[in-house]
Amino acid sequence: MKDKTGADAVVIGGGIVGCMAARYLLEAGRRVTILERREIAAGSSAGNAGILAFPEIVPIPSPGITWKAPVWLLDPLGPLTIRPAYAARLVPWFWHFWRASFKANFERGLEVQSELMRLAVREFEHIRKDERLAPFVVNTGTLDLYDSEKSFRAAAPDWDKKREAGFDFHRVGRSEIETLQPGLAPRFEHAIYSDDGLQISDPASFTRALGESLQQDGATISIADVSGLEPIETGARIHLSNGEVVEARTVVVACGAWSKRLAKSLGEAIPLDTERGYNTTLPPTAFPLKRQLYFNDHSFVVTPLKDGIRVGGAVEFGGLDLPANFKRSDMLMKLAKRFMPELETRGGEQWMGFRPSMPDSLPVIDRSKAAPNVLYAFGHGHLGLTQSAATGRLIAELAMQKKPSANLENLRFDRFAEL
Ligand SMILES: Cc1cc2nc3c(=O)[nH]c(=O)nc-3n(C[C@H](O)[C@H](O)[C@H](O)COP(=O)(O)OP(=O)(O)OC[C@H]3O[C@@H](n4cnc5c(N)ncnc54)[C@H](O)[C@@H]3O)c2cc1C
């Protein structure tokens, strides 16, 4: 590290959220340094499905969900697993998750998520104006597939909410499904199609291109592992694991699923955990994929990337330290082959990532109480890519003491004390 003291704004974490925070801080005229312990896009931001899932406004903890979870857990091809060695540590998280599913809390979550997604749409438009990043944003359209009339009907209330929030889509039947995506199993007779569906053509390259653009515009990126934070009158002191110390006027914690440790070093306990997700990236020739496919009854997606086809999803609770269980990726491939019979499943690359997940599906975008110059930007769960630019905007507004573009009351780190 060249500049050990008196840095202006330091962002800890070089994932998509940290890089977007850095982008907006630069635009606000701040001198920015990113501290990343490995490399840009080392975490969840590298291998995600790349979907800009703006319509996903419905929080996961919804009324009745706690009855569905045991059914998923019992299904070997189901979307949810809990590693036994980690189960006991999940009790507080699931307690908050259960409380978040109460009707009033769910409705508040829906409102907050809708406002954040409106901002996410606007801010991604802003990011697209940068010609170094624009080519990564592509419009492939989204096809949401259901196994049966029954499951389609069960999902209808969620689609109504999305329509009320201003998102546009229409119902399609068998023949239109076949036109929109040839080669699917005939079981799919009910689907929703959105022509507006956007995605990122390669999430890892996008995050790296953003990192490069930050450097071109004057930001510094340093490889450093942060072990703790300490408040000081002029900002915050950042302790590195090699013993060095950096001081900065503003510090942003954007370490994804690892953020909890740094908040804890300030004495702030946050119920952040990780929903581990799995995928396999196949060669582009594996299937003539035309657009993003959501297999809604099985909680996985297939996305066409610039250099491949990504089959991914699943939720595994197992913390940050247990090794990956790639049987989860194999399970998703088995399902994908069943639903896309001509899929060539050989030659894929498997990956596991740590979604940074709060129990109520909402991120933390807030100011530390113990160290008011430390800002928190993490916990985006399944939607971190989608909400990254909006988070960058809000963090820069907090740093500059400006009125935030969205209500941050329900994104406070300590909101669970009241649930
Ligand atoms: C299978 C899967 C599919 C997904 N699909 C989508 C999707 O289609 N659309 C979408 O919007 N979202 C999706 N997500 C979620 C999305 O990937 C995450 O929400 C998002 O990447 C989180 O970004 P982040 O920057 O907060 O965290 P990360 O990308 O994990 O970055 C955190 C960074 O902090 C660094 N770091 C950690 N601790 C320290 C430390 N102490 N010092 C220095 N650096 C540190 C890490 O090395 C890492 O680079 C998916 C996730 C998974 C797992």
**Mean pLDDT along residues 95-103:** 95
Phi, psi of 207, deg, nearest 5: -65, -40
Which band of pLDDT confidence, cut at 50, 70 and 90, is reported for residue 64?
A: confident
Cα distances from 306 to residues 50, 195, 303, in angstroms, run: 11, 19, 10
What atom of ligand 1 comes closest to residue 40's alpha carbon? 49
Residue 377 Cβ contacting ligand 1 at under 6 Å: no
pLDDT tens for each residue of 307-316: 999 999 989 9
Digit-coded pLDDT (tens) for 327-349: 999 999 999 999 999 999 999 99
Question: Ligand 1: distance of its center to the CA of 82 in Å?
Answer: 20
Nearest ligand 1 atom, CA 279:
1
Please tell me if the CB atom of residue 316 comes closer than 6 angstroms to any atom of ligand 1.
no
- Paired with 303 in beta bridges are 310
Answer whether 380 contacts ligand 1 (Cβ < 6 A). yes
- Residue 235 near ligand 1, beta carbon < 6 Å: no
Quote the ligand 1 centre to 378 CA distance (angstroms).
Answer: 9
Q: How far is the CA of 30 from the centre of ligand 1 (A)?
A: 24
Using the atom order of ligand 1, give the atom closest to the CA of residue 17.
25
Distance 354 CA to ligand 1 centre (A): 7
Cα→Cα distances 127→21, 183, 203, 283, 334, Å:
12, 35, 14, 29, 37
From the alpha carbon of 351, which atom of ligand 1 is closest?
Answer: 1
C-alpha angle 376/412/197, rounded to 5°? 80
pLDDT value, residue 410: 96
Residue pair 404/394 in contact by the 8 Å Cβ criterion: yes
Measured between alpha carbons, how far is residue 21 from residues 65, 141, 251, 331, 384 in Å?
33, 28, 11, 36, 12
CA 292 to chain centre: 17
Tokens for 419? Answer: 């649930």
Which residue owns the Cα nearest ligand 1 atom 1? Answer: 277
Tell me the domains of the chain and their CATH numbers: 1-419 (3.50.50.60)
The tokens for 121 are 């749409």
Pocket test for ligand 1, best of 264, 355, 374 (most atoms within 8 A of CB): 355
Q: Is the pLDDT of residue 418 over 80?
A: no
pLDDT digits (tens, 9 = 90+) for 102-138: 999 999 999 999 999 999 999 999 999 999 999 999 9
Q: Which of 255, 303, 316 maximizes ligand 1 atoms within 8 Å of its Cβ, making it the mutation to test the pocket?
A: 255
Instruction: Judge whether residue 68 has pLDDT over 90.
Output: no
Rounded to 10 degrees, what is the CA torsion of 305, 310, 316, 319? -50
Is the beta carbon of 53 within 6 A of some atom in ligand 1? yes
pLDDT tens readout for residues 164-202: 999 999 999 999 999 999 999 999 999 999 999 999 999
Please name the residues in contact with 153: beta carbons below 8 A apart, sequence gap of 6 or more.
none
d(CA 205, CA 210): 8
CA of 43 to the centre of ligand 1 (A): 5
What is the number of the ligand 1 atom nearest to the C-alpha of 43?
A: 30
Angle between helices 16-27 and 388-399 (to 10 degrees): 50
Whether residue 367 contacts residue 375, with contact meaning beta carbons closer than 8 Å, is answered with yes
Looking at the predicted structure, is the pLDDT value of residue 4 above 60?
no
Residue 197 Cβ inside 6 Å of ligand 1? The answer reads no
379 CA to centre of ligand 1 in angstroms? 9
SS3 for the chain is CCCCCCEEEEEECCCHHHHHHHHHHHHCCCCEEEEECCCCCCCHHHHCCCEECCCCCCCCCCCCHHHHHHHHHHCCCCCEEECHHHHHHHHHHHHHHHHHCCHHHHHHHHHHHHHHHHHHHHHHHHHHCCCCCHHHEEECCEEEEECCHHHHHHHHHHHHHHHHCCCCCEEECHHHHHHHCCCCCCCCCEEEEECCCEEECCHHHHHHHHHHHHHHCCCEEEECCEEEEEEECCEEEEEECCCCEEEEEEEEECCHHHHHHHHHHCCCCCCCEEEEEEEEEECHHHCCCCCEEEEHHHCEEEEEECCEEEEEEEEEECCCCCCCCCHHHHHHHHHHHHHCCCCCCCCCEEEEEEEEECCCCCCEEEECCCCCCEEEEECEHHHCCCCHHHHHHHHHHHHCCCCCCCCCHHHCCCHHHCC
Exposed, middle or buried: residue 47 (CB in 10 Å: 0-12, 13-18, 19+)?
Answer: buried
Instruction: Tell whether ligand 1 has an atom less than 6 A from the beta carbon of residue 172.
Output: no
pLDDT tens digits along 85-94: 999 999 999 9
CA of 257, closest atom in ligand 1 = 30
Average pLDDT of the chain is: 95
Examine the pLDDT at 394 and tell me if it is beyond 90.
yes
